[in-house]
Structure 1
Amino acid sequence: MNTLVLCSPAKINHFLHINGQRADGYHLIQTLFQYLEYGDEISFTPLAQSHIAVQMAFASGEDCGVPAEQNLIYKIASYLQTTYHVNSGIDIRVTKKIPMGGGLGGGSSNAATTLLTLNYVWKLNLSLKTLMQIGETFGADIPCFLIGQSAWGEGIGTQLTPTILDEQHVVVLTPPCLVSTPKMYQHSQLTRNTSSLRIGTLEGLLKNGLFENAVRNDFQQLVCQNYPIVAEYMAWLNQYAKAKLSGSGASIFAIVESEEKAARIMEDLPPCYQAFVAKSVNHSPLHAQLSNLGFFFESYWGVAKR
């Protein structure tokens, strides 16, 4: 098999409520995520020997500075190779476009892309359910990238219900800071008692156009207080459309009504600001690529619904 070059999409969280905390320290959340037609590029080259090589670099060519053995990609490849007695190896090279530490799911997306691709390349024939169980052990955000469809997440984020959302243009800004997710989750001022929504209530809010005023990101105020540069970027973007934090940040985004509006925002962008425009999509671009290669995905839930 020759080298496979695949996408590893980013995601946005349309809202993020923290409803409580389990005895083991994990937080109970509710969120609604959607993919972006924007992401990292990962190449997979099979090796005859059992060596696993991982290299991560930015599009500029600069190394990302993450030792291979500490990378989720390496850990997952090593786990699959050992657990399923794979005799061959793999050379994996990641070109990073998703900002690191931005709350856009780059690391989890890379891990999910690796799981799905190695299942195909190494002919493991693992079901999507099994892959999601494996993914969950490495990170609670990984399953949302494995299922291939926008979804409503509950529990620790791994209880997923399919959702079809409007596909729109999104402007994403990333301030020059790294927000520590563990630090934010452990912060004494974090709201941990937001009332839970029922899925039926969510569907009604979406249908009646009341969604935006009924939800929030429980990290947003805290992150803005602790990282003033995030608050600065949010204030700038709010001039054009409602700005929201994705995940625990630092990236913020705004949904705009047209590609032309997104282009106008980018034209006004201060020179020092890092930003990109992408379309939000309900189905993962990665799954489409793998399907074109002949990889069959069984339905995880059946027919999607809103």
Structure 2
Amino acid sequence: MPVDSDSCFVNLPAPAKINRFLHIIGRRSDGYHLLQSLFELVSLCDDLSFRKLENGKIERIGDLASAPGDDLCVRAARLLQREAGCRAGAVVRLHKKIPSGAGLGGGSSDAATTLIALNRLWGAGLSRSDLMDLGARLGADVPFFIGGRSAFVEGVGERLSPVDLPDELFAVIWPGVGSSTPQAFQRFDLTSHPQSLKINNLCGCFRNGRLRQDLHNDLEQVVSESIPQVPEALAYLGRLGAARMTGSGSAAFAALSDGKAAEAVLRRAPEAWQCFIVRSLHEHPLSGWLDNI
């Protein structure tokens, strides 16, 4: 457990994810879309630090991605306090590295790391399954990060099938403009995508150990229509290989065969863009914290 000795903060990562593909295959009666996707953990991480308080207060410092009352870390901490009957509190400090509104899962990952960290710091003793149930009340992607493995995702995000993926490098570009997940799904017209592939056997996503190139992101078109920087980033990444938008956008990624060549290309990208070269992660850095609970 990495500790900042000067302030007794425990320093922990919250990794990003990419959607290797995202297919929307229907809609429930409550309006939520049904999807099939492949979520892969990657090495781009937010930095979170935690310090236990005995007074029960939850204090949030550092970078703020939203209003304090809507902050997912605060909501996660208070939910764990309430459900586990914890009387302790915490200072939660966040240093954002994952762009907001990028489809990289940064806010959900921050919430997941908060639940995992405070479960241990407070001695709450909740299992992985317990924390995943709590995470689902915070956001559809939070259980994935607590699950700790790259996974096929179905339903509205609640059905996870862990999968082992080969080591890969990716170039990721966030083109300086965030995308709204609710708006992206609202704009998507399921009836206008009759050719959208429905995957009955998800293992068929791979051929010779590589992801099939005919898989896609159904939200890419609608987000590109409203955020022109997205197709610009996709075209730019096309120099390196097949590019795809992740999640509900607005970040794009491409798997790399040559990391050095990619570095040279990304150095010439527009100044307003944030560019990263990341590697795949086999498991969440904190996954072991929940293995024996």
Query: TM > 0.5 between the two?
Result: yes
Percentage identity across paired residues of the two chains: 36
Query: In the TM superposition, what are the counterparts of 1:34-49 in structure 2 within 5 Å?
Result: 34-49=40-55
How far did 1:244 drift? 0.6
Q: Which residue of 2 aligns with 1:153?
A: 153
Q: Secondary structure of 2:79's partner?
A: helix
Q: Secondary structure of 1:260's partner?
A: helix
* CA distance 1:184–1:8, shift in 2 (3 Å): same
* CA distance 1:111–1:245, shift in 2 (3 Å): same
Paired residues of 1:20 and 1:192 also in contact (CA < 8 A): no
Residue type of the alignment partner of 1:68: P
Q: Which residue of 2 aligns with 1:111?
A: 111
Q: Which residue of 1 aligns with 2:32?
A: 26
CA distance in 2, matches of 1:275, 1:45: 32
Query: In the TM superposition, what are the counterparts of 1:91-170 in structure 2 within 5 Å?
Result: 91-170=91-170
CA distance in 1, matches of 2:283, 2:262: 22
- CA-based RMSD of the aligned residues comes to 1.9
Residue type of the alignment partner of 1:197: I
CA distance in 2, matches of 1:33, 1:219: 15
2:184 is the counterpart of 1:184: yes
Residue type of the alignment partner of 1:34: E
Alignment coverage as a number of residue pairs: 285
Q: List alignment gaps of at least 5 residues for structure 2.
A: none
Q: Secondary structure of 1:214's partner?
A: coil
Q: Which residue of 1 aligns with 2:17?
A: 11
Residue type of the alignment partner of 1:35: L
- TM-score normalised by structure 1 residue count: 0.87
**Of 37-46 and 188-197, the range deviating more from structure 2:** 188-197
How far did 1:178 drift? 1.7
How far did 1:226 drift? 1.4
Q: Which residue of 1 aligns with 2:67?
A: 67
Paired residues of 1:169 and 1:262 also in contact (CA < 8 A): no
- TM-score normalised by structure 2 residue count: 0.91
Paired residues of 1:9 and 1:39 also in contact (CA < 8 A): yes
Query: In the TM superposition, what are the counterparts of 1:196-275 in structure 2 within 5 Å?
Result: 196-199=198-201, 202-208=202-208, 211-275=211-275
Deviations 1:259-278 (A, max 9, x none): 22322222332333221111
Paired residues of 2:17 and 2:40 also in contact (CA < 8 A): yes
